[in-house]
Amino acid sequence: MRVIVGVSDMKVSANPGDELVTYSLGSCIGIVIYDPVAKVGGILHYMLPESSLDPEKARKNPYMFADTGIPALFKASYALGAKKQRMKVAIAGGAQILDQQGFFNIGKRNHMAVKKMFFRNNVIANHEDVGGNVNRTVRLKIVSGDIHIKVGGEGEKKL
């Protein structure tokens, strides 16, 4: 079953029939995690780097921000039996879409937020497809752990 992960959303699954997918990763970041032993995976689609930008929104929806959404993603996967040391991790998005002059640099700031958080928590991304000025779609098949990234104008590739 295809499970859609919306903007400012997160889904985790241990159901082998599930395929998680998130669309339209522009300046947003999609983080995909998968434990091949537990066969547990998840996707987070966050919009902004820091919850301090709007603590009230962060309280209502922690998946909107890197610093609240990333811990929630990992904790939800642990609750289904995943272990951090076995995780395959992929990062996609962080493009410069609506900000061609780079004034706000939301995509770069979003990418730096995940890099800092991963560094502090000893998490290494196995793959990154970030930056540029293209939208991306990411899919994760729970049964196999296959991760596919579709890049605007380039087609889809399996990681």
pLDDT tens digit sequence for 60-87: 999 999 999 999 999 999 999 999 999 9
* Cβ atoms of residues 82 and 39 within 8 Å: no
Task: Determine phi and psi for 108, rounding to 5 degrees.
Answer: -65, -40
What's the distance, Cα to Cα, between the start and end of the chain in Å?
A: 21
Domain locations in the chain as residue ranges: 2-158
Active centre residues (catalytic): 28
pTM: 0.94
The 10s digit of each residue's pLDDT in 113-140 is 999 999 999 999 999 999 998 999 999 9
Q: Count of alpha carbons within 13 Å of 64, Cβ hemisphere only?
A: 13
What value does the mean pLDDT take over residues 49-69?
Answer: 94
Measured distance CA(25)–CA(3) in Å, rounded? 16
Residue 158, class by beta-carbon neighbours within 10 Å (0-12 exposed, 13-18 middle, 19+ buried)? exposed
**In CATH, what class is 2-158?**
alpha beta
* Best CA proximity match to 66, nearest among 93, 36, 101: 93
